[in-house]
Amino acid sequence: MIVKSIVQKLKNKFNISAAEIDCQDVHQTIVIGIAGICGSSAQMDSTEENIINFVDVNTDAEIIDIQREAL
């Protein structure tokens, strides 16, 4: 329930695609995949930073790892 709420808030606020993609059976670990389209790398960096800040402020979660792929 908590994960669904976070994912939906991210989708609504940042106009991105987001889903829990791994560790669904582990109660203390959440892996969320996020995909979006940006017009420039600067916009992508800014959006990524805003998403990280949003998760930090709105959850008790600790971000352990971020994997990024830009195409």
- Listed in sequence order, the residues at least 6 apart from 54 whose beta carbon sits closer than 8 Å to its beta carbon are 9, 10, 13, 14
Maximum CA pair distance of the chain? 36
User: For the whole prediction, is pTM greater than 0.85?
Assistant: no
- 45-49, 53-57, 64-68, range with the lowest pLDDT: 64-68
CB under 8 Å to 49, separation ≥6 — which residues? none
Confidence (pLDDT) at 24 = 60
Q: Taking a C-beta distance cutoff of 8 angstroms, is the pair 24, 17 a contact? A: no
What is the reported pLDDT for 32?
A: 87
Contact 18, 30 (CB under 8 A): no
Q: Given a cut of 80, is residue 6 above it in pLDDT?
A: yes
User: Measured between alpha carbons, how far is 55 from 36 in angstroms, rounded to an integer?
Assistant: 17
